[in-house]
């Protein structure tokens, strides 16, 4: 005798999130409270990561923010002053690529006769102990970006708050009389 097909209804996840929290806690018990806290922690972490990425995109001029630039910037900030020759190994990229990334993060370069403006977040200099080596470190503007990323990571500020802060500073600076 063939079995009857029983139709089941699955509720969308949104249905569970719309239930009163007390009802969920009563139904699911302590496990729900623990899972709910873990979910909130994950959402909070994702919000911080999103804020950091949005800020880096903003700091890089609201253009397509290539993660290789962000990765290079954070590695230089972490190891500053970093030896230019050591960066390819740290970032697992070629020397040509790191040269291009540092040029973009720094003063810019000419690529095939075409001028590429830089962000002026890093600067290269000779190593005082070995003039053959180049060191990469953060400029004042790069230090500011690094400090702001740290503030975001610690949850002291959100991207929107940081953006407003910077706009207020820019407005105040534009109102100062020239020296």
- Give residue-wise pLDDT tens across range 41-91: 777 778 888 888 888 888 887 666 677 888 888 889 988 898 999 999 988
Q: Provide CB contacts within 8 A for 44, sequence distance 6+.
A: 155
pLDDT at 6: 46
pLDDT at 70: 84
Averaged confidence pLDDT in the chain: 78
Structure tokens at 51: 């804020």
pTM for the whole structure: 0.67
Considering only CA atoms, which of 47, 52, 42, 112 is closest in space to residue 77? 52
Rg (CA), the chain: 25
Q: Provide CB contacts within 8 A for 106, sequence distance 6+.
A: 118, 119, 120, 121, 122, 123, 124, 136
Q: Tell me the CATH number for domain 66-138.
A: 1.10.10.10
Report which of residues 179 and 30 the model is more confident about. 179
Domain boundaries, the chain: 17-62+140-174, 66-138
Considering only CA atoms, which of 103, 131, 133, 105 is closest in space to residue 120? 105
CA distance 59 to 57: 5
Per-residue pLDDT tens over the stretch 104-156: 888 887 666 677 778 899 999 998 888 888 999 999 999 999 999 899 888 89
| Torsions phi, psi for 158 (to 5 deg) | -100, 170
pLDDT at 14: 45
Kindly tell me if the per-residue pLDDT of 15 is higher than 50.
no
pLDDT at 16: 45
Kindly tell me if the per-residue pLDDT of 11 is higher than 80.
no
107: number of Cβ within 10 Å:
16
DSSP class of residue 109 equals: E
Report which of residues 178 and 124 the model is more confident about. 124
Q: Provide CB contacts within 8 A for 12, sequence distance 6+.
A: none
């Amino acid at each position: 005798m063939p079995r009857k097909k029983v139709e089941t209804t699955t509720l969308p996840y949104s249905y569970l999130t719309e239930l009163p929290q007390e009802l969920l806690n009563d139904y699911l018990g302590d496990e729900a409270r623990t899972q709910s806290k873990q979910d909130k922690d994950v959402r909070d972490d994702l919000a911080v990561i999103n804020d950091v990425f949005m800020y880096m995109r903003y700091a890089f001029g609201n253009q397509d923010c290539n993660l290789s630039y962000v990765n290079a910037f954070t590695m230089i900030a972490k190891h500053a002053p970093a030896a230019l020759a050591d960066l390819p190994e740290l970032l697992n990229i070629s020397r040509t690529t790191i040269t291009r990334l540092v040029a973009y993060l720094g003063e810019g370069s000419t690529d095939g006769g075409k001028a590429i403006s830089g962000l002026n977040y890093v600067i290269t200099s000779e190593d005082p102990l070995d003039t053959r080596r180049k060191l990469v470190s953060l400029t004042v503007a790069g230090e500011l970006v690094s400090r702001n990323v740290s503030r975001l990571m610690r949850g002291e500020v959100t991207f929107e708050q940081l953006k407003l802060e910077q706009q207020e500073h820019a407005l105040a600076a534009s109102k100062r009389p020239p020296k």
